[in-house]
Amino acid sequence: MKHKNIKRITGLLLALALAAASFSGCSGKGGGNGADSAGNTVDGANGESAGGDSGERAMGRFLEEEVDTGVVFGNIYDMKRLEDGTIRLIGADADNGSKGAWDSKDGGASWEQAYEFPKEIEDSGDGYSDYVVLSQDGQAACAYNRIGGDAITTELYLLDKDGKARKIPYELPKSEEHGDVANLMMGICFLGNEQILVQDISDIVYQVNTADGSVKHTYEFDGSGGTHQIYTAGSQMVVVTEAEVLLYNTESGEQLPAEETLQKCVTESGFIHAVDTTDAGESMYYLTSAGLYHYKFGGSLMEQMIDGEMNSLGAPAFYPIALAVLDEQNILVAANDENASSAMGISLLKFAYSAETPAKPDKELKVYSLYENRDLGQAISRFRKEHTDIYVNYQVAMSEENGMTLSDALKTLTTEIMAGKGPDVLVLDGMPVETYVEKGILKDISALLAGSEGNYFEDIIHAYQDKQGQICAVPARFKIPMIQAGSAWYTPGENFDSFTGKKDALAKLDAGAVIEKFWYTCGAAWRKDDGTLDETKITEFLTKLKNAYGEYDSSVEDNVHTSMGYAEEGANPRLEQIQKTSFSYGQFDLAFGRANVSIGLAGDFEYGMMNAVNEKLTDGDYGLMPGQAEHVFVPEMTLGISSKSAEPETAEEFVKFLLSPEGQKINQSGGFPVEKEVFTSCVDGHKYTEQSSMVMSAGAGISEDESLSYEMEPTPQDAIDKITNLAESLTAPAFRDDVIKETVAEQGMKVLKGEIQPQEATNAIMQAVNIYLAE
Amino acid sequence: MGKKKDIKVKASQAGQKVRRILLWTLFVVLALIVLYPIVFLLAGSMMGNDELGSCLGAIFLGENGYARFPLLPKFPTLQHYIEVFMDSPGFFVMFWNSVKVTAGVLIGQFVVGTMAAWGFARYDFPWKKGFFLLYVILMLMPFQVLMLSDYLVLDRLLLTDNLWGIILPGVFSTFPVFIMYRFFAEIPDSMIEAAKLDGAKDWQLFVYLAVPIGSSGIIACMVLGFLEYWSLIEQPLTFLKDRSLFPLSIFLPDITSIGKSGMAFAVSVVTFFPAVLVFLGGQDYLEQGIMAGAVKE
Amino acid sequence: MRRKRNRQKKTHKSIRGFLWILPSFLGVTVFYLLPYADVVRRSFFGAVDNRFVGLDNYKMVIENTAFRLAVKNTFLFTLLCIPILIFLALLCAVALYKSKYGGIIKSAFLMPMALPAVSVALVWRILFHSQGLLNHWLAVVGIVGSDWMNTGNAFWILLVSYIWKNLGYDIVLWLAGLAGISTNIYEAARVDGAGERQCFFYITLPNLKPSLYTITVLSFLNSFKVFREAYLVAGDYPHESIYMMQHLFNNWFRSFSFDKMAAAAVMESVVLLALILLLQKAWDSAS
């Protein structure tokens, strides 16, 4: 009876809602998102997918595969489908460094070199080719930077179909904005009728005749919106900025009215990375990180052909270079993909339409993290490639621009989990892990690790194992609190007491960062068995750090900020956080005497750098950061599976993948892998074996003279052993509780700045924390 | 004797005058203090990033010394407004979402709330007192208490991540009923009896008598409703996920950075502006509405 | 016979009366009562596992020190802020009543109410920061300020903030009440030789009593809203002097402590019920 009533009421309300919706025209969903409602269709079926529960499944999706070109490209400059159906690309062969054109006559399956760049534009001590573009008739235009004396000048060359070069008699005018610097070409684009567009360093675009070098039109943009990227579609010039798309008629040189549909879609889907057209400019295809779109000028058609969410297009470190639409069902994309399987990170992908594959994968796996995690994003895109039947929906709660606070994000997460709509896999990057485990939010996944003994750093992977042997959270990565200093300030293996006994050991460091870094190595020792904090330990922590920090010098702060090149505060909380605790950020200050020690969390190991810094020090060495707790590691990318997950098997498969060697070897500096072999390959510098002559030169922002040069070479065995032993020795997970950490950081900073006494700060900390712990 | 009294009266008049002047000075000073935060926001919204940086550096950049803040910007600029209006396409979407939510709630409250208030004020039915008490209690319940359960209900009705999930609970808020009840209750009985004698039906009474007489009370209630729903925070944060549905009230760029604090000021002013307009326009009703209700012989 | 008809008429009327409430009541049922019933149910069950635990949750909550602190603070705040606000507003209203420029002053006092909480928080942060404006001004005068939001002062700041925001509205409410008092009564009293003071105490105050209930309830309601600012300025864990019930609810929510939250909510509504009944009684006896 009661049930019936509820139903009736619901019906009534829904009717009311519908009536009101038609009245005020504001249906919460459905409107607005033009790209969404256009659907993911090529054959035009089922444009409006109303949640997928009505009617049968939509079929048809582009599947991605990596093209094996037989050449390892060090770079790809452009790629086009020519009029005769040949696909041509301009690239640089990574093996011998030579540049040239490659052709494929079979839709990208096999490639052969068409020509090598002629002598005039060969890379040599005299100059190098910088930008090369292709036209549909097979010509190429090349901006060649010639080095003569102290100046560089750009010359413009036209290559015919067979690679014969001719210099175009055109010279860039001097840039008004950058008077002294030589004006260089920063972009070129083919236009029909023997014309090309050339963009200079002040973003001015010249429409140049390729025959006589005469300039027909000049285009200038106002300075807002950052750089302007130019593309052509037929005789139209398409200018793209971060915020808008401008269109120009190149016949008349006039700007065309902005097209709203296009503008709106670009606003929603992001910066355009590549453009192609197949119909002389009536429509264009473009790539953004949200996928591939087809747009007909005038706004009559706008559809998303490929959803970037389901393939590499949406991966965080994927930067498309060129797009070639072969036909409606076959698309080639050349991209700079940091995590491509190819050695130089340049990959060529083919997207082929498969009518038999469901438009959306059957299974959806929701992955959640509070902060954007690039390692994870990359791993997801790799995982998607192998599991076309699984749609991985990665949600980042707190992004740069949404201004959501941690507390709000966690609240939303709580509601969703409780409503059974929560994520399947959680990256515990700020959630109270222990509370989650205690409340039964996370599933025991110890079975996943069974049989893997010896593959992982055992203490690390079992960081969250409870007394019953349950493991509800697993760190897939970890960071090591490290210290580097000359022997005057640090002796390897030294403990917290003796380290902090040296006055000024921590002098001139950023006060907030010092507290935060030592929080990791000390906090773990504060907890008493009953769950409360040990007051004496906190006082000791503050007193000793204050001693090692010495007098606060307010002039330091500005210094530290600029020299470390912090991102603008508040711009990206996560990035700021990483920089604040990072070990390597302090190394420059250490090397150039602005700090006595470098401390922080290390997530990767660059032997060359470590060595170069050591050489600048007297008896420099590195080791584990001292702290009240010893052998502490910081779990990163801690994974958990929701106990309410609708797809537990898929979730397990995903977590397994992240812990597998393949998932572990993805490295976007989010921490060391927990898998031992991958760890070794991560620190051994094997990637440098082939180019042992390369010299890395790293400079910090503060002064141009300050740079460290070191050879990039494989890590010597003793150094590998040392870092591996350090990792092996780690037993205690850092105390990760953001609420306590923030309180400690806030009060601790005041102590270091000399505003309050350690005892006062301890009281304040205990007061705040006691409320928290009592809850 | 008569003269003496006269002097006394004069003296007391003079004393009263002094007192009055003192009182008014006090009021003006108080009013200025009360208004200071608004002036502050206005000034901040027109300062360039450099000026904001030098004024508020102590707070946002951890510089030493104190923050300063001039009453007027030294180099006024509309930069932040341009940033808000031109360079943040999301702004207008949010603005419209706010308008939709507020309008939806107010229209709904106008229909549902007025009727209920009328019912409570003018009719007798079993457990009326109990119902009303229930309404008052529900009105006083903090949002956090019902948050999860509310979410579960909205989820069942497919209203999460949908503006209706914000609007409908707002429509059925018991606050307007409480406000308007007081008001309807005090329409003189004689008036209603007279209308009844003229043969007015119940609904005619409501439409032609209650609503017009009550218009100022209803408007007063709407003004309060506007303020409430225009600056709603918790509900959208909990029930909405799709950023394109967020209302203006939660469009707050991270104000911990200088670069964005200017924009935060500007957004504050822009958000404040419609509220002030509504407030100024409805202020008289705010008073009249309640006043008329309180008139009692 | 006649009597019977009368009664019939009455029952008829009662149903009609309820019809007016019905749309509202249906909505209230769906969006408030059902959720509330769910909260009551939850107060007897475990948070995530949904196991029946009887009164354990209540016991747990009452013994919880954070809960006790929050209750203490909330009571203290409400008990202080409402009388102060109501009294101040009455003073202002009486002073402003029937004066020429009262309207302008009143408008000024009303302004803060229109300011969104987020903006208020922004201003508060800058004003009350340890290196903020207030301390700057104090330093100019030669007084050493304090870290306002992180000391016991936070409580008073919250109080002032509440009064700042609601004074205008309460003045308006009082003014409305004042306007409701018929001038005839004053004139009659004056004829009887009553002075201004007597008029105020024997006519104005008693006649304002009916307004008091509304004003108190509304002020009470608005006292909850001050949490928004407190939260936006000081976050989840503010200084212990301003740690309110809503902070606790908020934090419990985040950590999946729905059991405790529900129990505390039920207790809170019982207290609210008692308060309202008390107020109503006082009001009923007055009018």
Q: Kindly tell me if the per-residue pLDDT of A560 is higher than 60.
A: no
Close Cβ partners of A324 (under 8 Å, ≥ 6 residues apart): A79, A80, A81, A87, A276, A331, A332, A333, A334
Q: How far apart are CA C121 and CA B250, in angstroms?
A: 13
Nearest to C171 by CA among C230, C104, C124: C104
CA distance B123 to chain A (A): 24
List chain A residues with CB under 8 Å of C69. 771, 774
A707-725 tens-digit pLDDT: 777 777 788 889 999 999 9
Q: How far apart are CA A306 and CA C88, in angstroms?
A: 65
Side chain identity at A333, as an amino acid letter?
A: V
The minimal CB distance from C273 to the residues B113, B137, B295 is found for: B137
A727-747 tens-digit pLDDT: 999 998 988 888 888 889 888
Q: Is B13 on the interface with A (CB under 8 A)?
A: no
Q: How many CA atoms lie within 13 A of A546 on its CB side?
A: 20
Torsion of CA C213, C214, C220, C223, to 10 degrees: -150
Q: How far apart are CA C238 and CA A141, in angstroms?
A: 64
Q: How far apart are CA A322 and CA A406, in angstroms?
A: 39
Beta bridge partners of B240: none
List chain C residues with CB under 8 Å of B268. 115-116, 118-119, 122
Quickly tell me which residue has 């009553």 as its tokens.
C194
Quick one: pLDDT at residue A479? 93
CA distance A755 to chain B (A): 12
Q: Kindly tell me if the per-residue pLDDT of A593 is higher than 70.
A: yes
The minimal CB distance from A12 to the residues C26, C49, C252 is found for: C26
Q: Is B153 on the interface with A (CB under 8 A)?
A: no
Question: How big, in percent rounded to 5, are the helix, strand and coil portions of chain C?
Answer: 80, 0, 15
3-state secondary structure string, A755-770? CCCHHHHHHHHHHHHH
Nearest to B259 by CA among B57, B25, B71, B22: B57
Mutate to test the interface with B, among A569, A580, A749, A750 (most CBs of B within 10 A): A569
Mutate to test the interface with B, among A29, A264, A396, A417 (most CBs of B within 10 A): A29
Instruction: Tell me which chains share at least 3 CB pairs under 8 Å with chain B.
Output: A, C
Model confidence at C1, pLDDT cuts 50, 70, 90, reads very low
Contact yes or no for A440/A643 (Cβ under 8 A):
yes
Q: Kindly tell me if the per-residue pLDDT of A270 is higher than 50.
A: yes
**Cα A261 off chain centre by:** 29
Q: How far apart are CA B217 and CA B114, in angstroms?
A: 10
Task: Report CB contact under 8 Å: C18, B125.
Answer: yes
Instruction: Tell me which chains share at least 3 CB pairs under 8 Å with chain A.
Output: B, C
Nearest to B166 by CA among B245, B226, B239: B239
Task: Report CB contact under 8 Å: C107, B41.
Answer: no
Handedness of CA B196, B200, B202, B205 (dihedral sign): negative
Nearest to A2 by CA among B296, B276, C30: C30
Quickly tell me which residue has 């920089």 as its tokens.
A579
DSSP string across C67-97: HHHHHHHHHHHHHHHHHHHHHHHHHHHHHHT
List chain B residues with CB under 8 Å of A13. 157, 168
Side chain identity at C161, as an amino acid letter?
A: S
Q: How far apart are CA B59 and CA A31, in angstroms?
A: 42
B181-230 tens-digit pLDDT: 877 887 778 888 888 888 878 888 888 888 888 887 888 888 889 988 98
Close Cβ partners of A477 (under 8 Å, ≥ 6 residues apart): A375, A603, A635, A636, A637, A670, A671, A672, A673, A674
State the DSSP H helix or E strand holding residue A146, giving kind and residue range, or none if neither.
strand A140-148
Q: What would you measure as the largest C-alpha separation in chain B, in angstroms?
A: 85
Mean pLDDT over the full length of chain B:
81
C-alpha separations of A10 from B146, B159, C50 in Å = 19, 11, 26
Q: Give chain C's radius of gyration (CA, Å).
A: 24
Cβ neighbours, 10 Å, residue B254: 21
Quickly tell me which residue has 């070409």 as its tokens.
A185
Quickly tell me which residue has 């060697």 as its tokens.
A661
ipTM for the whole complex? 0.83
Average pLDDT rounded to a whole number, residues A115-139: 85
* Chain A residues bordering chain B (beta-carbon distance below 8 Å): 10, 13-14, 17, 20-21, 24, 26, 28-29, 32-33, 224, 243, 267, 401-404, 408, 411-412, 414-415, 418-419, 421, 512, 554, 557-558, 568-571, 573
Model confidence at A595, pLDDT cuts 50, 70, 90, reads confident
Contact yes or no for A583/A599 (Cβ under 8 A):
yes
Nearest to A79 by CA among A414, A413, A353, A322: A322
Contact yes or no for B289/B183 (Cβ under 8 A):
yes
Contact yes or no for C85/C170 (Cβ under 8 A):
yes
**Cα A64 off chain centre by:** 21
Task: Report CB contact under 8 Å: B244, A24.
Answer: no
Q: Is B259 on the interface with A (CB under 8 A)?
A: yes
Task: Report CB contact under 8 Å: B254, A267.
Answer: no
A654-692 tens-digit pLDDT: 999 999 988 888 877 788 999 999 998 888 877 666 554
Quick one: pLDDT at residue A582? 84
A152-206 tens-digit pLDDT: 788 889 998 888 888 888 888 877 666 566 778 888 888 877 888 988 888 888 9
CA distance C181 to chain B (A): 7
Beta bridge partners of B162: none
B236-256 tens-digit pLDDT: 888 887 778 888 887 664 454
Tokens of A602: 């290390």
Q: Is B100 on the interface with A (CB under 8 A)?
A: yes
Task: Report CB contact under 8 Å: B161, A28.
Answer: yes
List chain B residues with CB under 8 Å of A32. 93, 244
What parts of chain B have a pLDDT lower than 50? 1, 253-254, 256, 291-297
Average pLDDT rounded to a whole number, residues A544-572: 61
Mutate to test the interface with A, among B145, B164, B263 (most CBs of A within 10 A): B164
- In this predicted structure, which of A72-76, A92-96, A417-421, A429-433 has the lowest mean pLDDT? A92-96
Residue of B nearest to C227 (CA): B142
DSSP H helices in A305-348 = none
Give the three-state DSSP class for B150: helix
CA distance B131 to chain C (A): 9
Tokens of A22: 């038609």
Beta strands in A642-754 (DSSP E): 672-673, 695-699, 707-711, 732-733
C-alpha separations of C115 from A47, A73, B37 in Å = 44, 59, 9
Mutate to test the interface with C, among A12, A410, A439 (most CBs of C within 10 A): A439
Residue of C nearest to A408 (CA): C254
Quick one: pLDDT at residue B62? 63
Tokens of A629: 């707790």
Task: Report CB contact under 8 Å: A24, B260.
Answer: no
Q: How far apart are CA A286 and CA A293, in angstroms?
A: 5
Model confidence at A625, pLDDT cuts 50, 70, 90, reads very high
Contact yes or no for B194/B250 (Cβ under 8 A):
no
Quick one: pLDDT at residue B106? 95
Task: Report CB contact under 8 Å: C254, A414.
Answer: yes
Residue of B nearest to A8 (CA): B157
Q: How far apart are CA A587 and CA A432, in angstroms?
A: 32
List chain B residues with CB under 8 Å of C34. 149, 153
Model confidence at A403, pLDDT cuts 50, 70, 90, reads low
C234-256 tens-digit pLDDT: 888 888 889 998 899 888 988 88
A66-88 tens-digit pLDDT: 888 888 888 899 999 888 889 99
β-bridge pairing A73-81 and A165-168: unpaired
Q: How far apart are CA A138 and CA A89, in angstroms?
A: 10
Beta bridge partners of A196: A190, A208
pTM: 0.76
Q: Kindly tell me if the per-residue pLDDT of A347 is higher than 60.
A: yes
Side chain identity at A336, as an amino acid letter?
A: N
Quickly tell me which residue has 């997801």 as its tokens.
A380
C-alpha separations of A313 from A74, A286, A291, A374 in Å = 20, 12, 6, 14
β-bridge pairing A215-219 and A229-233: unpaired
Q: Is B69 on the interface with A (CB under 8 A)?
A: no
Residue of C nearest to A13 (CA): C27
Side chain identity at A700, as an amino acid letter?
A: A
Give the three-state DSSP class for C22: helix
Contact yes or no for A657/A375 (Cβ under 8 A):
no
Task: Report CB contact under 8 Å: C240, A436.
Answer: no
> In residues, how long is chain A?
775
Q: How far apart are CA A771 and CA A604, in angstroms?
A: 38
The minimal CB distance from A439 to the residues C30, C34, C256 is found for: C256
Q: Give chain A's radius of gyration (CA, Å).
A: 29
Q: Is B42 on the interface with C (CB under 8 A)?
A: no
List chain C residues with CB under 8 Å of B255. 122, 125
The minimal CB distance from A775 to the residues C47, C48, C248 is found for: C248
**Cα A302 off chain centre by:** 28
Side chain identity at C196, as an amino acid letter?
A: E
Average pLDDT rounded to a whole number, residues A137-144: 88
Residue of B nearest to A402 (CA): B253
Angle CA B62–B63–B68, to nearest 5: 105
Contact yes or no for B226/B278 (Cβ under 8 A):
yes
Tokens of A516: 């935060």
List chain B residues with CB under 8 Å of A224. 87
Give the three-state DSSP class for B163: coil
Instruction: Tell me which chains share at least 3 CB pairs under 8 Å with chain C.
Output: A, B
Task: Report CB contact under 8 Å: A403, B165.
Answer: no
**What residues 197-256 of chain B have any CB closer than 8 A to a CB of chain C?**
202, 206, 227, 230-231, 233-234, 249-250, 252, 255
